[in-house]
Amino acid sequence: MERHKIEIIHPDDFLVFQYDLNNVEFLSAIKEMREKMKNPPLTAEKLANSFAVAGLPQTAARMQDAIDLI
């Protein structure tokens, strides 16, 4: 990947970088994604937990901190 000047990072780090760039836009996108999950519907808490279970603990923590916004 060096040849193409691409840095490989963990998905959790990538999502945290996106959050840090624009947390309002990030949380809006997460909320929109959650609202589209209708079968079965998913609470914000369950969605944040699913991120943690998927190996994205930093992202899940940021979602928990803003749980009322998602």
For 1-52, how does the pLDDT look when each residue is reduced to its tens digit (9 = 90+)? 778 888 899 999 999 999 999 999 999 999 999 999 999 899 999 999 999 9
Least Cα distance to 16 among 63, 48, 50, 53 occurs for: 63
Which pLDDT value is given to residue 5?
87
20-37 burial by CB neighbour count: b if 16+ within 10 A, else e? eeeeeebbeebbeebeee
Which pLDDT value is given to residue 3?
85
Q: Is 60 left (phi over 0), alpha (psi -120 to 50) or beta?
A: alpha
- Enumerate the domain spans of the chain: 2-69
Which pLDDT value is given to residue 4?
87
Residues forming beta bridges with residue 41, ordered by sequence position: 38
